[in-house]
Structure 1
């Protein structure tokens, strides 16, 4: 297997062979942390904005004059905006230089959040959320490849881990902070804060993130051809089912804890999950260049263990907190693992594979909200851990079977 290709829309002439790293100190100097942290902030802002309405539903519903369930669809329409447009937008902008494309997508994101913050019309709010999802999906489709191309070959995994750290930080710290801000001020201020942060990020990107070229003239992402690449279907399946499993529990974790009589501990449980996720990201970033397959198996088993603890011992609060830590350890590195696996399996069609991965990721998030809601209304929150366990069985089976392509046991040059 050749050196991992760049991710979304990053098909460029072969780069010169990079020199081997001479030691930890030199490696640290080569890792462009300031630029990578800018990309991580882009991941953070887009991830947080997707789920922010979940903590602001009552106030948003009152202002928009619709029910809480209708307001909840602002989360779904955001995910649909990403799912429906990531592939065509990635194809249409494949030739753009990466920095220009990232600045354009984040500018559109800031505009959409501003409209959301000032709108008093439900239809306009939904349209703005859809546009925000489009901008976020375009950014996501290029961020993985961009992060990897900013680092030396042996540090690509660490670079991607830094960039993807924005996800657990957004879920564990950002959502509670946004909810608190909405409570002490109002929900519009929370969305305006997202706009303000994005404006700061635009200046940061302009000043600190190196540019990279897009696709060579005449080349465009090949989505269907990417599907025929060995390993790509396996990675996409794992992405769809793993994210679905995670989301159906995470999206309703407050309801789950409330039913256990632990509603007052929701913030603490999320904090434990987030802190453990950061540890998981660090471990994956340090080992992914040699242990992608083993780390993916370990992540699946850890999340399954957390689900089992919640299913069997949820009546004992200490085990719930333990499960949150185990869950975070397993889930934290999953975005990095799947982005890396998709990029490598896609070969010279890595751009198409990454665009499809982003699309399926958001389809899974939208589906997780729907499936979780149905479970909650029909059989109760106690079904969440067991459903998660059932979904993880085929995930583990596909990862174990895809030992040649997708999640290879051996990676050339690693």
Structure 2
């Protein structure tokens, strides 16, 4: 296995952990900073918005910067931002540090994805990218639960110190083993946005946005949601997150299998419908028993990642001439969905109860289903020779 690819994947793992770890330690943050749960949830919202908006903009602004230098600089800013979070007691300063973390993290993720294929032969490019995405998804399986365990043992600031330490190790590894790499030709931001004039593509992108908005309406506040249903220990809650992560990663493979065997368009409809149904079922599953609820949670988790293979294939098939642009924009769209979901979930908690987050999330997923149906019924711009 290529050590340089592993280093890039490790950096992606750290960034993925930082984005969602707040959801697992909300109770610790709110108690220490004396803020509401919804206010703490905005640490996820601002991160996701900053990530989504800064990814295409910063990559264009830094288009002429040598890639290794840019990577090391971004890791340095990322490290500093997490140290700021660990030692700050100011809500405003922590929000600012989360924005810095997201902006630098966006560059790290994009660079990891673009650099990995350059480091291997053409026959191994797919595997290289697969390792990077394993780093991202692996943060759900290991990063968040481990962060919760450390947070519950040593305080909520400890995971951010650990992340800062891991960032320092990544800086050392990248500095030693990664060779200098010239920047590739950047796609102008105007060209990226121009591709969204097509209603089929816009509604296709909205599927991801609305799905993740519905998903994060509950998942961003999943810890308080579970604790409102069952009197479980922090250790048991960490186990729930761990199982959630395993199901999420396996869901990516499930989604690919469904897409290959049923076709992209049918897979989109089936997955979105099933996802909505499971979100509505969760409260009823909790009334039966904790274990039935846990099974429902794992199905919910698997479906949340099952959409990605079909979604990305659909975008490439619908707009083959701008496939790379669509995938880049879809990354930003998904993070905007994360931000919207965490914001809406906070509003639901403020206005009613965390018990209603599942219902609101399910309704948003039904809207995603409407967007999928609309997109699928629009005339395709792809060549007739493209197979689904």
1:206-251 deviations in Å (ceiling 9; x for gaps)? 556677653338x534232232368542342112101101111111
The answer for the alignment partner of 2:249 in structure 1 is 278
Choose which of 129, 140, 143 in structure 1 pairs with 2:98.
129
1:366-395 deviations in Å (ceiling 9; x for gaps)? 221221122234343343333333222343
- Bigger helix fraction: 2
Choose which of 302, 311, 314 in structure 1 pairs with 2:286.
314
Choose which of 276, 281, 301 in structure 2 pairs with 1:304.
276
Change (3 A) 1:402 1:142: farther
Deviation at 1:301, TM superposition (A): 4.1
Choose which of 132, 137, 151 in structure 2 pairs with 1:163.
132
SS of alignment partner, residue 187 of structure 1: coil
Distance in 2 separating the partners of 1:288 and 1:38:
31
Change (3 A) 1:207 1:292: farther
1:279-310 deviations in Å (ceiling 9; x for gaps)? 22344567878865555445434423422431
Distance in 1 separating the partners of 2:76 and 2:365:
37
Per the normalisation by structure 2, the TM-score is 0.80
Choose which of 335, 342, 346 in structure 2 pairs with 1:373.
346
Structure 2: runs of 5+ lacking an equivalent: none
Q: Which moved more, 1:398-407 or 1:172-181?
A: 398-407
Deviation at 1:109, TM superposition (A): 0.9
The answer for the alignment partner of 1:359 in structure 2 is 332
Q: Is the 8 A contact 1:298 1:330 kept in 2?
A: no
1:113-168 deviations in Å (ceiling 9; x for gaps)? 12222334444333222111111223334444445666777876655444223444
Change (3 A) 1:345 1:149: farther
Distance in 1 separating the partners of 2:38 and 2:358:
24
Deviation at 1:193, TM superposition (A): 0.7
Per the normalisation by structure 1, the TM-score is 0.75
Distance in 1 separating the partners of 2:358 and 2:381:
26
The answer for the alignment partner of 1:193 in structure 2 is 162
Structure 1: runs of 5+ lacking an equivalent: 1-31
1:137-156 mapped onto 2 (5 Å cutoff): 137-147=106-116
Choose which of 215, 227, 240 in structure 1 pairs with 2:184.
215
The answer for the alignment partner of 2:87 in structure 1 is 118
Distance in 2 separating the partners of 1:243 and 1:48:
17
Q: What do you get for the CA RMSD once the two structures are aligned?
A: 3.9
Q: Which moved more, 1:56-65 or 1:138-147?
A: 56-65
Distance in 2 separating the partners of 1:35 and 1:186:
33
Distance in 1 separating the partners of 2:379 and 2:353:
39
Change (3 A) 1:66 1:387: closer
The answer for the alignment partner of 1:47 in structure 2 is 16
Q: Is the 8 A contact 1:76 1:366 kept in 2?
A: yes
